Amino acid sequence: MVYTMRIYTDGGCRGNGKPGAIGAAAAVFSLKYGRNDSWSRLLPQSPPPTNQRAEITGIIIALEQALAKRENLETSPRLDVQIYSDSRYAVDCMTTWIYKWTRNGWINSAGDEVANRDLLEEASHLDDDLQEVGCVEYKWIPREQNQGADRLCNERMDEQSRVSSSDSDSDW
pLDDT, tens digit, for every residue of 74-86?
888 899 999 999 9
Q: How many domains does the chain have?
A: 1
pLDDT tens digits in sequence order for the chain, 172 residues long: 888 999 999 999 999 989 899 999 999 999 888 889 999 999 999 999 999 999 999 999 999 999 999 988 888 889 999 999 999 999 999 999 999 999 999 999 899 999 999 999 999 999 999 999 999 999 999 999 999 999 999 999 999 888 876 655 444 4
Looking only at the bridges linking them, the beta strands covering 36-42 and 78-85 are: unpaired
pLDDT at site 172: 43
CA–CA distance, 16 with 18 (Å, rounded to integer): 6
Which pLDDT value is given to residue 47? 92
- Contact indicator for 11, 81 with CB cutoff of 8 Å: no
| CA atoms within 13 Å, Cβ hemisphere of 99 | 6
Measure the CA–CA gap between 76 and 67, rounded to whole angstroms.
11
Position 74 scores a pLDDT of 82
* CATH value at residue 60: 3.30.420.10
- Residues of the domain holding 141: 2-169
Amino acid at 164: S
